[in-house]
Structure 1
Amino acid sequence: MVLITGLPPEIIHNILTFVDPADLVWIPRVCTSFHYSVAQNKSLFKHVYLGYFDTPENHDIDFEHILKDWVRLQVVCRRKGVENKKHELSFVYDTVTELLKHATPNGPRASAYATHPLSRNATLLAQLFSDYENQHAFLGRSFLYERARAELPVSESFSSPPKDEHQKSAKLHCLYGVPLLYAQRGSHETRSGKMSPFACSRVYDIRQYNERTKWGPFMDDDTDRVDWERVEAIMLVLGANLKRLGLSESPICKSFLDTPFAGVWPQSYTAHPINREESDPLDLQDPYGVTGTWLRVVCFLDYCDFFAFNFGPGQRLPPNVPRQAIDVDEVTRLILMKIHVVKIEPAGPENGQALPVVHFKGVSKSLDDSWDENANSDLRGTVRLTRDGEVRWTSFSVFSGEERWRSESVQVGGVKSAKGVLGNWFDT
């Protein structure tokens, strides 16, 4: 009888390409022969990776490193107890974002209504984060959730600059994409457990917005770095309002609000192919995929509630002290935007240099409240990269030639991701 270690190296290599990533990590410890079959074998790690994960566009990546990180991620996520794993947040953040970066940009649609393809990377991550403890340990660690769970002293204020762990957890939550609308397990039936009042407190506090934040979801340091805790709060507000109105069950919303990691990787948006003979040449040069008809969801407070929240009795607080949670009815408006590219120019010194600045124009039409004088308008705007490589959308609503409303937003998942754009609109 021939031992497996006595087989030709190419046959051993072929056998090992079928093992699970976790097995590939410990097999070199079995014996010296297996150690030499696996160690420094880049081709083997690549084969195992491609058999388990999406095929990345760029094959010049460290397959061995990613596989070992994936195995460690599984070990971390399987630990029992939030306290036994939450200190691994930075590692989890790095590994999750790396796997999403290499998710497949093409392939069959995830569903009949989805605008993104199936992804093995996203599916595997969704399975890990279906566990409540993993959600608590890694997705619910921003200032917002710690405040809602009363894990912070009453006097605890916003950190300046924000804590790194808060920002990483908030971004992971945005990539996960399903709003965790309750502070913790078991709080679904209690009003105090709702996250939307705390998110509203963050979103509608006008002290959070100034020229340094560009009146949008950016850091208060006059850079264009994204404030992911603010983006997270916006996602929670939108998710709560869509759920309250029953719109979260509509096919177009359900595929994102109920599906973890849906289309949150670059180039994931799946649209009808462009007819290269009929399309504008600018569309073919546009790396962001701007031209199209898009659904926009806008939420806002009644002006009386908004004014009382910011300027009422007892509201003169230091800028670093959060306002109280606010639980009042909001208005939610559904809007169709039809836009097209009008100009493409090189990135300026204040932008990310990897891609150009794309200018667009178009029209905006409300699907409800068409009688409102603010419902329909012309549009103009730009899409560009921040210096950190995030995709920044700026738009202006134009009435009779005059700019009335402006929005600043960030695209979750990167360039041409299918997840969508989250941000603020204002009249400054």
Structure 2
Amino acid sequence: MGHADGASKMLHLNLLPAEILHHIFAGLEPRDLGRLPRTCRFLHTFVKGNQKLCKDVYLNALDPPADAELDWEKEIHDYVRLSLLCTSSNVDEKTDELPFVYDTVNRLLKNASSTGEAQNEAGTHAASRNAAFLARAFREEPARLAFLCRSFIFERARSEVRPIRIPEKPKEAHQQSAKLHCLYGRPILNCGRTRSSRVYPYACSKVYDLRQYTPRTKWGPFMDDDTDRVDWEKVEAILIVLGSNIRSQNLTAKVFSNLWERPFVGSWAGSYVPAPNRGIQDLDLKDPYGVAGTWLRVVCFIDYNDFFGYNFPLDDQMPREVPRPALDVGEATRLIVMKIHVTDVQPPGEQDGKDLPVVHFEGISRSIDDSWDENANSDLRAVKGTVRLTKEGEVRWTTFSIFSGHARWRSEGIQIGGVGSARGVVGHWFDTDYDPHGPCGPSAYFKVSDRAPNPKGDDQQISFHDFLPIMDFEADLGSDEDDEDFVVGEWGEDEEDEEMDVENDREALAQDLAALASADAEIIDMLLNGHHVIGE
């Protein structure tokens, strides 16, 4: 009898030392840890306020953050709450939770760090458990519609606002939802499952409306108040327009699908992983942004007659607070390789964020699809620009494209995810003299390798080696598991849609790049001087 009583006592958790209990409970999933305090008073007391236990559970599920002084109990609580919220059967009724979702997603990405693995074959895009969790949380369409599709663009597409008026001041909910969509990274092109729910025409309306380009916005994706705060609805519109064109042009190389098809990939600071054997110059050691290397740029534009007619219609008396009509006239797409290096590092200016310096760069660019001479195939000093922080801590890129020794085009953009993110830079391009008649349009660029031109001048060229990271045109758009849930709702490929006949363009571009890989000097020269067009 005494032996039985002793065995019974040994089965009670409350008789175990605290160290052993900690070791047992540290292996729980975050949601299970949340259930534990509800079992009995003893476990409630043991778990509540136990920061060390919450920290260990957090680190088992998520990335180790740079900040070691987090409120670990709150982090675990919010992690579980976000997961339950996004998978709720009535998540569409919980749109008022947007501020919580916005704060938690931003915090998880701010605290993201590399797992030591890569998400692409080149090894330049770090994997993150935080980003992977967010991708799972927003895998189902109802969660995306509830929190990522609440901006003014989506309101227009859903015809929720009558009469249509642009808010005098940007609504916080619009901005929060738009930023979440930008961090999500995979452009959502439909707010429903029919042709009429396409978002692209309304995004085009915002991107090509010259009234959005003012001295107070620096003609970039900033608020119209001269504060340099990011206008995330502008960034969202750019992503939608570029994403639609990337899709319609069948740009299916892994260099695109790795970033434009996978949720939350590269949307956190430091997610670009530099090559360990890259050539490092003295100035690179002072550059916190990781500027030096080869970048792939995507630029879109509409025919100038369409652009002018849209912005300057006859008898135009449209009030500024009324958005211009939806725009769907077809665009041209250009792909440009930029190879840049650091030329100077200066202290931040009065209007800059003070935490990091201003980095100046120069380099060369070449179009890989068309002879857009004034922007891509110019002289060997074809690109220059700066990178700096804004006062709110965002990374602002300014570039100039040179033609015959003079700056012809300018761009202003924001690096999504922060310093050193693999997601890259998104913004506007426009005339360097701010021509009030345009043209202007959307642009994005992201780093594909660490190959940079030698500042001493003996490597001022773009060779076929610089194209190798972008020469896979056999990849599918996203993984098989992504396709199941994403294609219909977001890309709008419902039964009414006609198939877009761009096979000839895709095959021609693939042939050009395959020929480039053969390293035949004449073929390389032919391609670099623009003998392929991605048409409208």
TM-score tier (shorter): over 0.9
The equivalent position to 1:75 in structure 2, one of 77, 80, 84, is 84
Q: Give a deviation string over 1:81-128, Cα, whole Å, max 9, x none.
A: 354211100000000110111111351101325631121111111111
User: Shift of residue 345 of structure 1?
Assistant: 0.9
Q: CA deviation at 1:33?
A: 1.8
**Number of the residue aligned with 2:95:** 86
Per the alignment, residue 296 of structure 1 pairs with 297
Amino acid in structure 1 at the alignment position of 2:208: Y
Question: Any residues of structure 2 matched to 1:377-416 within 5 Å, and which?
Answer: 377=378, 378-416=382-420
State the Cα distance separating 1:26 from its structure 2 match: 2.9
C-alpha distance in 1, partners of 2:87/2:411? 41
Distance 1:334 1:215 in 2: 22
CA offset at residue 285 of structure 1? Answer: 1.2
Match of 2:59 in 1: 50
AA in 2 matched with 1:235: L
Match of 2:349 in 1: 348
Superposed counterparts of 1:28-427, under 5 Å: 28-105=37-114, 107-113=116-122, 115-153=124-162, 155-184=163-192, 186-187=193-194, 190=195, 192-247=196-251, 249-275=252-278, 278-313=279-314, 315-370=316-371, 372-377=373-378, 378-427=382-431
Distance 1:314 1:83, change over 3 A: farther
Deviation per residue, 1:225-271 (Å, 9 max, x gap): 00000000000110011111100x21100111210000100001012
Q: Identity over aligned residues, as a percent?
A: 53
How far apart, in 2, do the equivalents of 1:374 and 1:252 lie?
22
What's 2:450 paired with?
A: none
Q: For the pair shown, which has the larger CA radius of gyration, 1 or 2?
A: 2
Q: Is the 8 A contact 1:115 1:269 kept in 2?
A: yes
Give the TM-score taking structure 2 as reference length.
0.76
3-state SS, counterpart of residue 429 of structure 2: strand
Amino acid at match of 1:280: Q
- Distance across 2 between alignment mates of 1:340 and 1:316: 47
The residue type equivalent to 2:181 in the other structure is H
Secondary structure in structure 1 of the residue aligned to 2:339: strand
The Cα shift of 1:216 comes to 0.7
Letter in 2 for 1:164: E
Aligned residue pair count = 420
Post-superposition shift, 1:48? 0.3
2-structure distance, mates of 1:314, 1:100: 48
Give the match's secondary structure for 1:241: helix
Aligned-partner Cα distance in 2 for 1:19–1:340: 48
TM-score (norm 1): 0.95
Q: Distance in 1 between matches of 2:372 and 2:387?
A: 30
Change beyond 3 A, Cα 1:114–1:304: farther
Residue 36 of structure 2 corresponds to: 27
Please give the secondary structure, in 2, of the residue aligned with 1:221.
coil
What is the rounded CA distance, in whole Å, between the counterparts of 2:244 and 2:253 in structure 1? 14
Once superposed, which parts of structure 1, at least 4 consecutive aligned residues long, lie more than 4 Å away? none
> Secondary structure, in 3 states, of the residue corresponding to 1:322?
coil
Cα distance between partner residues in 2 of 1:279 and 1:106 = 25
